[in-house]
Structure 1
Amino acid sequence: MLAASVIAATFIANPVFAAEKVKIGVISILEGAFAALGKDGIRGAELAFIETGNKAAGKDVEIIVMSSDASPDSAVNAARKLIEKDKVDIIIGPLSGSEGIALRDLSKGYQGVTFINGSSAAQDTTFRDGSDNFFRFGGDGAQWMAGVGTYSYEKLGYKKVAVVAEDYSFPYTQVLGFMSEYCKAGGRVPNKFWTPIGTKDYSSIVYAIPDDVDAIFVALGGADAVNFLTQYNQAGGNKPIIGGTITIDQSILDSKGPFKKLLVGTPAGTPTVSDFEGKEWKEFSASYAKSFPDGLSAPSIFAHHYYMAGKAALLGLEKVNGDLSNNQKAFRAVLEKLEFVTPTGGTMRLDENRNGIIDSFVTEVFEREDGTFGNRVLKVIRNVNQTMGHDAAKFKALGPVSRDNPSCP
């Protein structure tokens, strides 16, 4: 695991080309309901640096890890410490949606530092009021759900669905991605149940789910997903589940408990497929397993995205020969045009908002021969942009995502 380092005092306020070392801060959630997710994010970032021997453009790369707790304030405090005390050149992170919006806003006041998103996937982080020194080499939560709404309505025949999701920006974005297709196809979502991060008791929601819905769209992560699914299973719940991206992530499927049987056959949308057969993914998974024998049975979406953030930083540094002078303008210009092959074999590149254009997958949960659980591909959706293929002006006119937007009761 990466560990925080003690940094010697420096009299240089901004990074300069003459520096012999590049300092990169990594912010991830290492406490609370999402701690297991955050630890795998750190593994992913670490893997990118392991591949280059912790060097870029001939310079040593020093990594400093800071923990957040999924709250915007904790992410901002971690970033300020990294910038003002540790004097980092680049920040990778954060993990969670509302944290990402907070760091996007913070980045505008620190033009001498480049922020590269970890796995946070709220839509508005890049789609509205973006920052020219905040980059996301991955999609948002709506992009990750591409194809799932149509599949659920047309292939599975689910005409009416209830939503259970955490009450913050990332699940709002996931619900948008699902509902934009599902409602257009003719589906209805009469009930949405929003819960705080870290909820322990889901009984009131479990027993409030209407009998006449065909399925439940669940957008919960970490311990929240485990708690809800366990309690729903214990209550004898038998409605099919449609999975949000992190609800069926490997970090959940490697958890203990009989609730996992409930997930077999669950469709979901994700850019990360544990049992993907692509050459690049097999190589990435093998490298992950070799480097982290105590890690998950396959890289999670958090490892995948923190790895891509680390790789983008390293590739960018190579292209500018480590030159971070002039408020890193050359480095950022390179990042805006950067393209590289992702662990799933696609080509990562950014749109005009510095947000990734991605390949996403419609998947289903299955039980492997050894009794563990994974995800396999049902359909690949190529080149998903942030407006989900819609006219950009019309899409933006729909307004920011929220508890009530979108709606099709």
Structure 2
Amino acid sequence: MIFDVAVIGAGVMGCSTALHLARGGMQVALLDRGAICREASGVNAGTLTMQMTRAALIPYALRAHEMWLRMPEWCDGGDVLAVACPGLSVAFTEQEAAMLEERAHFRRQAGAPIELISGGRAMEIEPGLSDQVLLAGHCPIDGFTSAYLTGRAFRPALLRAGVALFEKRGVTAVDRQPHGFTLQTTAGTLRARRIVLAGGVWLEGMAAWLGITLPVKVLVNQLVVTERIRPVMRTVMGVASGLLSLKQYANGTVLIGGGWQGIGDRERGGLAVRAENFSGNVRLAAHTIPALRDARVVRAWLGLESETADALPAIGPVPGEPDAWIIGCVHSGYTSGPYFGKLLAQAIMGQEPEMPLFPMDRLLKKEAA
């Protein structure tokens, strides 16, 4: 069998692309070396935020935010327990306040309804907040999901749409053929007329299959979860420096993130928590929400995040490679992921995408033959 499209990488962007292509009438194969959405898409903080999203990506994040909240409607009942709530980004120092003002300005211009408020007003919105806050950005459109449910939410919809799901089937090479591609996998070959590279931090190696040099920076983000405690916060919380993301789930656990780096790499994944960064992260969380000083940590883990040289994504056709497409390296990519997959599917099917893509020409060089 020759598939119309083979999507390589079954994170949230790969799943969304495959689902929308299949619903558009294409025969789609979705491949991953592991289980779907069990890498970055299943272990991130699940934050649906405008205040940690690049200004250029705000229009996309706003549409994706709505998709997450309505996921059971468009994903055959698939649910990530998305919660809509206000978001606060706070500043404790004058330097952070200046940073907050600048970033809020550009994000407002891009369409995010962010309002700068005093520390006192922020405490009215979030009573558990520290009284040391000088300034805060308030956004009524924020929220979060239970990211570990992402694969479980997508799987039934993918199968009902007719997607051929190949889990634990890694792709080792891609060979160009006269009318498509042959994929060399850990379980034999697979043929497709088009391919989509959707491998996140592994896109650098995937691009090399086509002779393309695409530098991808790898971040090894640490996350921490507490025991179940009484309600201590009702917003998505962050610090202007970007070093904290914080939210409390319905079961009482509090998830602490913020991009503090652990030990690991692209080849081996996350290996170990970096003790000093763990300590810094939880101290900042307790400084921001003082009630967390009494909470005990249950566990910590690591998740990989990818980033291009200009921190903007690579989404669109691969230059010089007909019928090859790419999607990934989106900062705060989980937030915008389902909408970017929808847009890329539109382009692959020959439609005009609802919003512009992010062509990768600016990022790569074709290697000499």
TM-score (norm 1): 0.22
Which protein is richer in strand relative to its size?
2
Q: Looking at both structures, which has the greater relative contact order when contacts are Cα pairs under 8 Å and sequence separation is at least 6?
A: 2
Determine which structure has the larger helix proportion and give its number. 1
Normalized against structure 2, the TM-score is what? 0.24
